[in-house]
């Protein structure tokens, strides 16, 4: 379905980086959810580049809710979020020299040269703005049902953060701390050290990658479907839409490959009130279904592909070898901006499973 994702709750994305606008249509929302514009603005601000480590492009993100909201609540009909593009500098992009490890060349072939190449066009990270705006509505609605989602940077430019706490109560505290923190990290020293690593790369006209970790707290057991709509399948599908993500692992992920079953299995027990597991190597998912424990996953984020250094490429007109040095404004660490995007897409998957419109309405 290309630019539409979801089953009962769908998000349809549109827009190009240097066109009139970017936006999204969110359909399948239950009626009567509060729509808090301040909350949307707050999450958009978290996604926006800021500080010395970020791109110089200013994106005020003056979003418009074109439909689906009435008297501050969702109507249950499609909600369109439109974000006009304002501050664009198209001359920065060389149409004929594709940037290495960017979509430029593959998009040129796919669209037979008709794509809007300016700033990556439809492939631009700018398209994550409407994703984050839509996610804000969903995250608020999930929180009202006791489901919380948060993402921190587990590693960036060689600097580690501590992982999420395992006990659900401590994990809830971690999520509280992330909500309040200006930098998405849990250790007190991580923000300064990661920022330093990013600035060092920027000074070298280079970029850095990283790893994120996400937690979902408060899911009931049994969410997800066997086989093709496993919870891992749905989350991975949504998250790999972010161009910088090149790997996803759930629970202990790749480390599980080197364990034995007796080490990797999570014993079941009852704490008197609920069935829990004493460890959570599986990241809260068994056989594609949530098991009631916190969902945990990590994403590998590659370093920003667009760097100011000269790099070998080809000239699409002459098909000769050539060189490109990016002149545009780019983040030296896209991992720094991804946590709100990951939260939003995670919320979309979870809300799609949890918020299905009540099937047999009756007069209130």
Distance separating alpha carbons of residues 189 and 159, to the nearest angstrom: 10
Q: Which segment (43-51, 55-63, 184-192, 307-315) binds a second copy by CB under 8 A?
A: 307-315
3-state SS, residue 83 = strand
Residue (178 or 335) nearer to a second copy, CB = 335
The CA distance from 1 to 43, in Å, is: 27
For a second copy, what does the binding mask look like between residues 58 and 97, x meaning CB under 8 A?
Answer: ------xxxxxxx--xxxxxxxx-x---------------
Report if residue 270 touches a second copy, rule: CB under 8 A.
yes
Instruction: Report the alpha-carbon distance of residue 298 to residue 226 in Å, rounded.
Output: 22
Distance, CA of 32 to chain centre:
26
CB closer to a second copy, 46 vs 155: 155
Among 216, 309, 317, 336, interactor with a second copy by CB under 8 A: 309
Contacts of 227 (CB under 8 A, 6+ apart): 288
Q: Considering only residues 1-60, where is the footprint of a second copy by CB under 8 A?
A: 1-5, 7-8, 10-16, 19-23, 25, 27-28, 31-32
List binders of a second copy among 334-363 (CB under 8 A).
335, 353-356, 359-363
Per the CB < 8 A criterion, the answer to whether 335 and 301 are in contact is yes
Q: How far is the CB of 291 from a second copy (least distance, A)?
A: 5
Rounded least distance, CB 308 to a second copy, Å: 10
The three-state secondary structure class of 278 is coil
Nearer to a second copy, 180 or 311 (CB): 311
Q: Identify whether the C-beta of residue 157 lies closer than 8 Å to the C-beta of residue 194.
A: yes
Q: Of residues 119-178, which lie at the interface with a second copy (CB under 8 A)?
A: 120-123, 127, 155, 158
- For a second copy, the binding residue among 37, 96, 140, 225 (CB under 8 A) is 225
Work out which of 92, 140, 277, 329 binds a second copy, going by CB under 8 A: 277
What binding mask, one character per residue, do residues 235-254 give for a second copy by CB under 8 A, x or -? -xxx-xx-x-xxxxxxxxxx
Q: Dig out the tokens for 53 from the structure.
A: 């480590």
326 neighbors 150 (Cβ within 8 angstroms): no
Give the distance between the most distant pair of CA atoms in the chain: 72
Stretch that binds a second copy, among 54-62, 161-169, 170-178, 257-265 (CB under 8 A): 257-265
Of the chain, the end-to-end C-alpha distance in Å amounts to 36
Q: Which of 299, 346, 331 is nearest to 134 (CA)?
A: 346
Question: Six-digit token pair at 52?
Answer: 């010395």
Q: Which residue's CB is nearer to a second copy, number 59 or number 116?
A: 116
Determine the Cα angle at 229 with ends 225 and 231, to 5°: 75
Place of tokens 């983040």: 331
**With contact defined as beta carbons under 8 Å apart, do 52 and 71 qualify?**
no
Instruction: Give the interface segment with a second copy, choosing from 40-48, 169-177, 181-189, 285-293 (CB under 8 A).
Output: 285-293
Of 43-51, 134-142, 180-188, 198-206, which segment contacts a second copy by CB under 8 A? 198-206
Among 87, 110, 166, 176, interactor with a second copy by CB under 8 A? 110
């Amino acid at each position: 379905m290309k630019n539409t994702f979801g089953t009962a709750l769908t998000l349809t994305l549109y827009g190009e980086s240097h066109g009139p606008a970017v936006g999204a249509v969110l359909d399948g929302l239950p009626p009567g959810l509060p729509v808090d514009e301040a909350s949307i603005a707050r999450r958009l601000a978290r996604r926006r580049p800021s500080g010395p480590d970020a791109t110089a492009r200013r994106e005020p993100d003056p979003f418009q809710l074109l439909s689906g909201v009435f008297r501050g609540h969702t109507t249950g009909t499609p909600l369109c979020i439109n974000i006009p593009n304002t501050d664009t500098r198209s001359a920065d992009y060389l149409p004929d020299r594709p940037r290495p490890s960017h979509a430029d060349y593959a998009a040129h072939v796919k669209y037979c040269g008709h794509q809007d190449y300016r700033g990556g066009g439809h492939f631009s990270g700018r398209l994550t703005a409407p994703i984050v705006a839509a996610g804000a509505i969903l995250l608020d609605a999930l929180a009202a049902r006791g489901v919380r989602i948060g993402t921190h940077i587990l590693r960036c430019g060689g600097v580690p953060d501590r992982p999420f706490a395992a006990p659900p109560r401590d994990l809830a505290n971690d999520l509280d701390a992330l909500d309040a923190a200006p930098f998405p990290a849990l250790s007190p020293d991580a923000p300064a050290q990661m920022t330093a690593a990013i600035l060092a790369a920027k000074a070298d006209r280079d970029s850095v990658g990283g790893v994120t970790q996400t937690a979902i707290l408060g899911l009931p057991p049994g969410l997800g479907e066997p086989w093709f709509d496993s919870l891992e399948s749905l989350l991975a599908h949504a998250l790999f839409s972010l161009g910088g993500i090149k790997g996803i692992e759930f629970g202990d992920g790749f480390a599980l490959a080197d364990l034995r079953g007796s080490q990797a299995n999570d014993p079941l027990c009852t704490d008197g009130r609920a069935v829990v597991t004493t460890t959570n190597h599986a990241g809260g998912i068994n056989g594609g279904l949530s098991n009631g424990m916190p969902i945990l996953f990590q994403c590998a984020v590659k370093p920003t592909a667009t760097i100011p250094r000269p790099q070998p490429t080809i000239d699409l007109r002459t098909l000769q070898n050539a060189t490109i040095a990016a002149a545009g404004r780019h983040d030296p660490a896209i991992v720094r901006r991804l946590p709100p995007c990951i939260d939003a897409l995670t919320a979309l998957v979870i809300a799609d499973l949890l918020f299905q419109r009540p099937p047999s309405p009756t007069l209130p």
